[in-house]
Amino acid sequence: MTTISSTFCHDRQNLSARLFLGCILACAGAGTGAAESTDASAIYGEIAINQRQAQRRLKSGHDLLQPLTDAFSGYFAWKDRLREDYGFSYTVEYSPQAQWDLRLNGLHTSNDETNLIFQWAAVDRADMKRGTLMGWYQVSRTLGSRHTSQFMQDVGIITPTNGGDTAPGDYNDLWQMLSWEQWFLDDTLRFGIGKLTTRTFLNLNRYAVGDREDFLTPQLVNNTVVPFTARNGMGLFGQYHMDEAYLTGMVREADGTSTDISFDTLDSGKWEYAVELGLTPTNTAGLGEGIYRFTGYYTDSIGTGANKQPSGWAMALSFDQDIGNDYGAFFRYSYAGEDWRAFRQRIGAGVQIKHPLGFRYDRIGLAAWWAEPTNNTLSGETGVETFWKLQLAPNIEVTPDLQLIFNPQGNMNRNHVLIGSLRLRVLM
């Protein structure tokens, strides 16, 4: 389990990056069906939080915490003025979560994550696309004595139950992203340069965004077979938009540092490459907007000895489709040509209900996955997950969650594992 522990420690960093951009966009765009068709998470994934907060400050909740909402109205008005007058917007996201094996009394894990996500429109404060400095700084902690990988080992599974893991320590802080982004030619061309986190640009999904926003397991919200989700480094990003389609390319250092902003490894000659074709029909079969992404990836070999990662390729599919105004569906598949991770291939699919019981910004999700381990002596693990995200206030979400994992690989005495979760998310 040592390899798995190290792997998911890195994954937490990149899931958070998605979370950073998703958080920016999440507060701005998640609403009813038509509004969600242009949700920023389709462009920025998890770091969308910042833009969502800026665009939809008066996000209504269950009205249970209205006095608290009123108390922070002055603060949010000040944030709006900061954006309008100086072109600077930011979101601080704090999200603790806890999980329990519901069949083994007392076996649990918990962690929290704090993300600072910001954008500065340095060229035109009224239009961030004209030139923006984007940043994402993250602090993550294991709460208690059992981190995610230890919990997986104790429960007897190889599927990660959440994206949090700071092993071998209980604390981690890093720059997930610091880059310049620019749009040209009436938003036809989009470019980025700087420290890049892959999951904020590639293989995104509107209905499986990040482990702090909807589903918890990386089998649904991440890519558990490829190394690019566990890396960030200096690179270049470009995207060309066409009618109902786009083409994306990225080149990034393969052995960059994940903990700070550094140019030390740029001369190593080790690079990774990614290309993505996205189809964006506005009304698929009369159902609504769909986004269909096809991603190819190649990396040079890095590391030495026991830490060596071979060169090789991988591919991934990520589809999401509106179903009218009240539902959304997604499908994800990934395959790796090398044994980089605990899994060789993964397939997942699910749905979201956008306004259950009439609560406009609540979400219910239900999804299933199957994953083939790289260890040829093991058969595939299968799982089902469901969550209900309750929007208690404009900036407070509470999410109960259940995961049922069949054929657990580490414990042949059990034919399934039942995991209960509770997650809090506060956006300021």
Instruction: Give the domain extent around 370.
Output: 2-427
CATH number where 239 lies: 2.40.160.180
Assigned token pair, 346? 């993964």
Position 359: which residue type? F
- The pLDDT value given to residue 164: 84
More confidently predicted of 39 and 297: 297
Q: Which of 130, 190, 138 is nearest to 18 (CA)?
A: 138
Residue 2 has pLDDT above 60, yes or no: no
- The pLDDT value given to residue 13: 41
Q: What is the pLDDT of residues 273-291, one digit of tens each?
A: 999 999 999 999 999 999 9
Average pLDDT (306-334) is: 94
Q: What is the pLDDT of residues 168-198, one digit of tens each?
A: 678 888 888 999 999 999 999 999 999 998 8
The Cα–Cα gap between 150 and 164 comes to 11
More confidently predicted of 167 and 113: 113
Average pLDDT (238-256) is: 93
Q: Are 284 and 290 in contact (CB under 8 A)?
A: yes
| Alpha-carbon distance values, 244 to 35, 207, 268, 295, 322 (Å) | 18, 19, 38, 17, 15
- The pLDDT value given to residue 258: 62
More confidently predicted of 226 and 422: 422
Confidence of residue 232 (pLDDT cuts 50, 70, 90): confident
Q: What percent of the chain has pLDDT over 70?
A: 84
Note the pTM of the prediction, 2 decimals.
0.86
Domain count for the chain, please give it.
Answer: 1
Average pLDDT (308-315) is: 92
- Return left, alpha or beta for 267; rule: phi > 0 is left, psi -120 to 50 is alpha, else beta: alpha
Confidence of residue 239 (pLDDT cuts 50, 70, 90): very high
- The pLDDT value given to residue 390: 93
The Cα–Cα gap between 138 and 199 comes to 15
Average pLDDT (32-42) is: 54
- The pLDDT value given to residue 104: 74
More confidently predicted of 355 and 307: 355
More confidently predicted of 53 and 25: 53
- The pLDDT value given to residue 346: 97
Residue 412 has pLDDT above 80, yes or no: no
Q: What is the pLDDT of residues 5-21, one digit of tens each?
A: 334 344 444 444 433 34
More confidently predicted of 180 and 268: 180
Confidence of residue 359 (pLDDT cuts 50, 70, 90): confident
- The pLDDT value given to residue 201: 86
When the pLDDT of each residue in the chain is averaged and rounded to a whole number, the result is 84
Q: What percent of the chain has pLDDT over 90?
A: 57
Residue 1 has pLDDT above 80, yes or no: no
Residue 145 has pLDDT above 50, yes or no: yes
- The pLDDT value given to residue 55: 54
Q: Which of 350, 347, 337, 253 is nearest to 302 (CA)?
A: 253
Q: What is the pLDDT of residues 211-220, one digit of tens each?
A: 999 999 999 9
Average pLDDT (392-417) is: 85
- The pLDDT value given to residue 240: 97
- The pLDDT value given to residue 410: 66
Q: What is the pLDDT of residues 253-265, one digit of tens each?
A: 988 766 667 666 6
